[in-house]
Amino acid sequence: MKKILGFLGIINFVVASAPLTIAAKLNNITEEFELKTPITKVTAFYWWNSDENTFTWTKTLPIETNYKYFSIIEFKNRRQSWVEGHNSSKYYHINSPLIKDKTNILLINNTQSETKIAETYYEYGYIIAESEVANLKLILNLTYSNNTIKAKFTAKAIVTNPDLFCWVKTQATFYFKIIVSENQL
């Protein structure tokens, strides 16, 4: 009889704690974003070029809540980037990992941090030169002060001309989700 009552007590505890877990997950602030670099190119007789797009996300958190963590999650099935160039109009489609998930960045009042979320390099491999021709990156500048989060994202593309008579162009699109949560993900 004691075993049955003990087992029923465990079942009652599991059932009672399940709604709390679901409710905690529903209290997260979640938003999805897409950020593209401009098409960046370098033509013959120029050595390099760079261009960037910025996006600032600001959120004032309710005072009565206890949000502690800021996370960025990539939509892995939707990332896009490409590089093309040289005289033969070769077209390459890069589908390499662009974003490393950054989870559970602790929100501490009156702090600022800059984090490189994603970076990928592309190298041409041909007889004339084997050098880096494209660098695509996403940078986060995060500020948290007086219950206000300010996240500035910079999507940057840098192209380098490996030879005086070549041309290179590139673009990347970053798809990601911001999650602000009370508990660690």
Phi, psi torsion values for 19, nearest 5 degrees:
-60, -30
Instruction: Please state which of the ranges 11-15, 30-34, 65-69, 109-113 shows the lowest mean pLDDT.
Output: 11-15
Residue with tokens 């084997």: 130
- DSSP output for the chain: -HHHHHHHHHHHHHHHHHHHHHHHHHT-EEEEEEEEPPPEEE-TT--EEEEEEEEEEEEEPPTTS---EEEEEE-GGG-EEEEEETTTTEEEEE-S-----EEEEE--TTEEEEEEEEEEEEE--SSS---EEEEEEEEEEEEEETTEEEEEEEEEEEEE-SSTT--EEEEEEEEEEEEEESS--
Average pLDDT (40-48) is 83
Place of tokens 């041309």: 167
For range 51-59, the mean pLDDT: 95
Q: Which of 20-29, 59-68, 74-83 has the highest mean pLDDT?
A: 59-68
Question: What pTM was estimated for this model as a whole?
Answer: 0.74
% of the chain surpassing 70 pLDDT: 70
Tracing tokens 């007889």 back to the chain, one arrives at: 127
Structure confidence at residue 98 as a pLDDT band (50, 70, 90): low
The string of pLDDT tens digits covering residues 119-167 is 777 765 543 445 667 888 889 999 999 899 999 999 999 888 777 777 7
Please report the pLDDT score of residue 127 as a whole number.
Answer: 39
